[in-house]
Amino acid sequence: MSGTSRRTVLKAGAALAAATATSARAESAVATGQAAATFAGPTRISLKVNGEVHAPLLEPRVTLLDALRERIGLTGTKKGCDRGECGACTVLVDGRRVKSCLTLAVMQQGREITTIEGLAREGRLHPVQAAFIDNDGLQCGFCTPGQIMSAVACLQEGHTGSDEEIREWMSGNLCRCACYPNIVASVRQAAEHG
């Protein structure tokens, strides 16, 4: 090899690899720094809940459930498992049911959020709320806000053709008091009354 030894080539390769690694580390540090700058500390966000705009100050890691209950003061939405299993925390986001313990509040900005407190109109219960009372669709009542929000969506989705269909589409909402027959009867009544 004319004028260039194998050792020289290897040295040059090692130097290039080291420089590349250093540069990658520097870029990564910059990116991490930017992320830290972006997510450091509480941020004021805007949430539209039951037609009213709220501007809580919260960290990006706060769930919609905690924002509703602890920052906005709407405690009708319940925290059961806090990991997506029980449905007690169900709310509507743009008309679709969402388990609020599984989504971050910052992700729901610009959307219409409806909680159990937003269902009644001018002092009159929503037909689903009235149906739950008529049919004793609750015992302790802890799961009931989530059941009702899910039932409202179930009706809007058109999944109330039979008791089996209601059971299937309400299966994401658990009831520790096992009021399932009465819950199904409540949803059926609301569906029958349009």
Burial classification of residue 78, based on how many CB atoms lie within 10 Å of its CB (0-12 exposed, 13-18 middle, 19 or more buried):
buried
Q: How far is the CB of 144 from ligand FES (least distance, A)?
A: 6
Closer to ligand FES by CB, 43 or 130: give it: 130
CA distance 99 to 145: 12
Site for ligand FES in 140-169 (CB under 6 A): 140-144
Gyration radius of the chain's alpha carbons: 26
Closer to ligand FES by CB, 78 or 126: give it: 78
Q: Contact with ligand FES (CB under 6 A): which of 42, 84, 158, 181?
A: 84
Q: Contact with ligand FES (CB under 6 A): which of 67, 89, 105, 190?
A: 89
The helix/strand/coil state of 47 is: strand
Q: What is the DSSP letter of 73?
A: -
Stretch that binds ligand FES, among 3-11, 16-24, 87-95, 103-111 (CB under 6 A): 87-95
CA distance 191 to 187: 6
Beta bridge pairs of residue 54: 47
Residue 174, number of CB atoms within 10 A of its CB: 17
Q: Tell me if 85 contacts ligand FES by CB under 6 A.
A: yes
Site for ligand FES in 105-144 (CB under 6 A): 138-144
- How many residues make contact with ligand FES (CB under 6 A)? 23
- The answer to whether 183 touches 176, Cβ cutoff 8 Å, is no
Q: Contact with ligand FES (CB under 6 A): which of 64, 74, 80, 128?
A: 80
Contacting residues toward ligand FES, per CB under 6 A: 79-82, 84-89, 99, 101, 138-144, 175-177, 179
